[in-house]
């Protein structure tokens, strides 16, 4: 996976994302990688979430030790086209987060999180593709 914030190209995060069953209705998502900043500094990083099916979408909960179980966002499914898509907008005062997750037919999915407000302003686009290794999902965030 690769990550960047277009409002200044802060860097690229490259790594591996894994989905693992951790309960009958929950997939644990964990991404591990390295952030390479424009100034050449490399920093290791990770993120964890629990994905749970909701009646009309996917509820994503924090899975890290500090916020475990707290709801991050619930993505709601929209009309079907060439791909499945789920979206949500939520306020994390004083900033607004707009999420979109898209599943493509060829073993890829992508997420876009656009954050706007007085404290934060960036767009994080992540692109994932299934690896040849079972239950490993390689991701690219740009």
* Domain segments of the chain as ranges: 11-141
**What pLDDT, on a 0 to 100 scale, did the predictor assign at position 5?**
45
Question: Could you tell me the CA-to-CA distances from 110 to 37, 70, 113 in Å, in that order?
Answer: 22, 23, 10
29-76 residue pLDDT tens: 999 999 888 888 999 999 899 999 888 788 999 998 888 989 999 998
Question: What pLDDT shows up at residue 78?
Answer: 75
| Per-residue pLDDT at 103 | 85
The string of pLDDT tens digits covering residues 73-120 is 999 887 666 678 888 998 889 999 999 988 887 788 888 999 999 998
3: number of Cβ within 10 Å? 22
Question: Which residue, among 93, 84, 89, has the nearest Cα to 120 in the 3D structure?
Answer: 93
CATH fold for the domain made of 11-141: Lipocalin (2.40.128)
- The residue with tokens 């407000």 is 117
What pLDDT shows up at residue 116?
94
Q: CA dihedral defined by 48, 54, 78, 99, rounded to 10 degrees? A: -30
pLDDT surpassing 70 at residue 137: no
pLDDT of residue 62: 92
What is the pTM (predicted TM-score) of this model?
0.75
């Amino acid at each position: 996976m690769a990550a960047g914030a277009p409002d200044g190209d802060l860097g690229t995060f490259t790594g591996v994302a894994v989905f693992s069953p951790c309960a009958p209705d929950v997939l644990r998502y964990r991404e591990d990688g390295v952030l390479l900043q424009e100034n050449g500094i490399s920093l290791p990083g990770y993120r964890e979430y629990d994905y749970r099916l909701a009646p009309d979408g996917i509820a994503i909960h924090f899975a890290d030790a500090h916020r475990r179980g707290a709801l991050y966002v619930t993505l709601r499914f929209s009309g079907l086209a060439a791909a499945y898509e789920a979206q949500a907008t939520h306020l994390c005062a004083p900033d607004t987060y707009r999420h979109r997750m898209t599943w493509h037919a060829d073993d890829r999915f992508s997420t876009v999180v656009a954050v706007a407000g007085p404290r934060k302003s960036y767009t994080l686009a992540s692109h994932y593709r299934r690896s040849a290794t079972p239950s490993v999902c390689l991701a690219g965030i740009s």
